[in-house]
Amino acid sequence: MHGYRGKALELLYRFNAYAGEHVIIELDSKRYEGIIMPRYESADDTHIVLKLKNGYNIGISIDRIKSIKSIEGKNQIKIAEVEREDRGLSKIAMISTGGTIASKIDYRTGGVRAMLTAKELYDAIPELGELADIYPEVLFSEYSENLTFRHWSMLAEKIYEKSKEGYKGIVVTHGTDTMHYTAAALSFAVSINKPIVLVGAQRSSDRPSSDAATNLIAATTFASKSDLNGVFVAMHDSISDDTIAIHLGTRVRKNHTSRRDAFKSIGIKPIAYVRNGEIIYNLRVETRREEYILPKFEDKVALLKYHPNMDARLIEYLSELGYKGLVLEGTGLGHVSKYLFNSIEDAIKKGMIICMTSQCIYGRVRMTVYETGRDLLRIGVLPLDDMLPEVALAKLSWALANKEDVKSVMLKNIAMEMSDRSLVD
pLDDT computed for residue 204 by the predictor: 63
Q: What whole-number percentage of the chain has pLDDT above 70?
A: 84
Q: What is the pLDDT of residue 106?
A: 46
- Buried (b) or exposed (e) across 15-50, using 16+ Cβ within 10 A? bebbbbbbbebeeeeeebebbbbbbbeebeeebbbb
Catalytic residue check, 254: yes
Annotation marks residue 106 as catalytic: no
Task: Tell me the DSSP string of 28-41.
Answer: SS-EEEEEEPP--T
Taking the C-alpha atoms of residue 34 and residue 19, their distance in angstroms, rounded to an integer, is: 11
CB-facing half-sphere around the CA of 133: CA atoms within 13 A: 12
> Which listed residue (123, 177, 241, 386) is catalytic?
177
pTM of this prediction exceeds 0.85: no
Q: How far apart are CA 406 and CA 394, in angstroms?
A: 13
Among 100, 214, 357, 372, the active-site one is: 100
Query: What pLDDT, on a 0 to 100 scale, did the predictor assign at position 81?
Result: 44
Residue range 223-251, pLDDT digits in tens: 999 999 999 999 999 988 889 999 999 99
Q: How far apart are CA 159 and CA 182, in angstroms?
A: 13
Catalytic hit among 51, 162, 194, 254 = 254
Distance CA 407, CA 396 (A): 9
**The two domains 6-70 and 91-293 share their CATH topology (first three levels equal):** no
H-helix segments, 75-148: 118-124, 128-131
pLDDT at 108: 37
Cα separation, 32 vs 419, in Å, equals 47
pLDDT of residue 50 exceeding 60, the answer is yes
**Residue in 51, 162, 173, 176 annotated catalytic:** 176
- Amino acid (one-letter) located at 190: V
Q: Is 221 a catalytic residue?
A: no
Neighbouring residues of 126: CB distance < 8 A, sequence distance ≥ 6: 19, 20, 35, 38, 77, 78, 79, 80
Nearest-5° angle of CA 60, CA 63, CA 64?
60
Q: 312-344: per-residue pLDDT in tens?
A: 999 999 999 999 999 999 999 999 999 999 999
Question: Residue ranges per domain, the chain?
Answer: 6-70, 91-293, 301-423
Looking at the DSSP bridge assignments, the partners of residue 248 are: 232
| Long-range interactions of 253-258: CB distance < 8 A, separation 24+ | 253/180, 253/388, 253/390, 254/176, 254/177, 254/179, 254/180, 255/361, 258/202, 258/203
Question: For the domain with range 301-423, which CATH number is right: 1.10.10.10, 3.40.50.1000, 3.40.50.800, 3.40.50.40?
Answer: 3.40.50.40
Give 341 or 41, the one with higher predicted confidence.
341
pLDDT tens digit sequence for 246-294? 999 999 999 999 898 999 999 999 999 999 999 999 987 665 568 999 9
Q: What is the pLDDT of residues 84-141, one digit of tens each?
A: 445 678 999 999 887 666 655 443 344 444 444 545 655 667 777 788 888 888 888 8
194 vs 227: CA distance, rounded Å: 8
Query: Can you give the pLDDT at residue 105?
Result: 47
In CATH, what is the architecture of 6-70? Roll (2.30)
Q: What's the CATH fold of domain 91-293?
A: Rossmann fold (3.40.50)
Residue 351, CB-side half-sphere exposure with 13 Å CA sphere: 8
d(CA 246, CA 127): 19
What separation in angstroms does the CA of 226 have from each of 122, 135, 235, 270? 21, 18, 16, 14
Catalytic residue check, 69:
no
